[in-house]
Amino acid sequence: MICAHRSSVNRIDFAFFEIAVIVIRQAGNSNLSDPIHKGIDARADFATFLVSENRMKSQTVRPRKPASDSADKRDIPPSKDTRRVTTRTVREMKKRGEKLAMITAYDFTFARLFDEAGADVLLVGDSLSNVIQGNETTIPVTLDEMIYHARLVVRGAREHAMVICDMPFMSFQVSVEEGFRNAGRIMKETGAGGVKIEGGERVADHVHRMSEAGIPVMGHLGLTPQSIHQFGSYRTRGITKEEATRMKHDAKALEDAGCFALVLEKIPTALAKEITDSLKVSTIGIGAGPHCDGQVLVMHDMLGLTEEFHPRFVRRYASLAETVREAVRNYDSDIKKGKFPSEGESY
Ligand code: KIV
């Protein structure tokens, strides 16, 4: 289906190179800077170039958002519009001062829309426990359920976005080996570009083991919902001096262990800025102020599907809950009045 609208002359070459890019990118999705990985990056760039050329010829490319003005600041050329986001893209964006947009996604349809809209990273967050499954906390969602949803999202992220899958509660806490094996399952069974893991220095060995094996890892500090029963509330983290010092230490430990990016959740703006300025890897904020290298929101919150959740850091970009209710009210009423289906809608 993906190839159906491309010219048949280019179809075989295109498919071959597209597969080659995926394979090479998967292999190169490590943030290691050794010559082998640099070689992989170079080959992936070449293959990406060939794919881009083919896309241009077969007219399948869609307009992409322009790089921000700040992109020119440091003499690094803006990323190619058609290019798949990888850990390398994320690194380059930070160097250019270009902000990254991440949003959660849990299924094919929304993933495809978000990818088409230009989101850089789609996070299959364990928030799916709340917004998809209706649980109070993120604790109940299982690894198999995360894998199932991540597979759907990968299918929808057809052109641009990198997909990251959360490691759910108890998929890594028992041991480094178990976490490593489960991260491997996510990579093999979903096609995601990496995993996210909650915690500071205590997961540094996990991160090291995974990133050494070529699994890109995103860290998560500040409010870490999997520890809700330990903290007892969703209050802002990093307020006290001890907490802030600990978080700065954790951030450095995660960077040293190999994380390519860190989510900072619900922490003071000044602390998020300090951490962001002190790291080479990107920070992605949620309730952490404007100085992070990127931002993330849960799709249900930013689209106005969860009306009862009103934290100050959520900006509503749509009011889909009311749109959906209105549409279904009209549908219900049309059926009951015999107005749907009409003759034109019948055979
Ligand atoms: O699970 C999730 O959606 C998250 C984001 C809030 C960062 O971890």
Do residues 226 and 336 both lie within one domain? Answer: no
Q: What is the pLDDT of residue 5?
A: 32
Q: What is the pLDDT of residue 46?
A: 36
Do residues 191 and 306 both lie within one domain? Answer: yes
Q: What is the pLDDT of residue 316?
A: 97
**CA-atom Rg of the chain in angstroms:** 21
Tell me the CATH number at 186. 3.20.20.60
Pocket of ligand 1 (CB under 6 A): 104, 123, 125-127, 166, 220, 263, 286, 296, 298
Q: What is the pLDDT of residue 9?
A: 31
Q: What is the pLDDT of residue 340?
A: 98
- From atom 2 of ligand 1, which residue's Cα is the shortest distance away? 125
- From atom 8 of ligand 1, which residue's Cα is the shortest distance away? 125
- What's the CA-to-centroid distance between 1 and ligand 1, angstroms? 32
Candidates 92, 265, 326, 345; catalytic one: 265
Q: What is the pLDDT of residue 234?
A: 87
Q: What is the pLDDT of residue 157?
A: 98
| Selection from 203, 135, 210, 196 nearest residue 168 by Cα | 196
Q: Are 190 and 150 in contact (CB under 8 A)?
A: yes
- Into how many domains does the chain fold? 3
Please state the separation of Cα 38 from the chain's center in Å.
23
Task: Identify whether 69 is part of a domain.
Answer: no
* Buried b / exposed e along 266-291 (16+ C-beta atoms within 10 A): bbbeebbbbbbeebebbbbbbbbbeb
Task: Identify whether 347 is part of a domain.
Answer: yes
Give me the domain span that covers residue 31.
Answer: 1-61
Task: Give pLDDT < 50 ranges for the chain.
Answer: 1-81
What's the rounded Cα separation, in Å, for the pair 295 and 293?
Answer: 7
Q: What is the pLDDT of residue 82?
A: 55
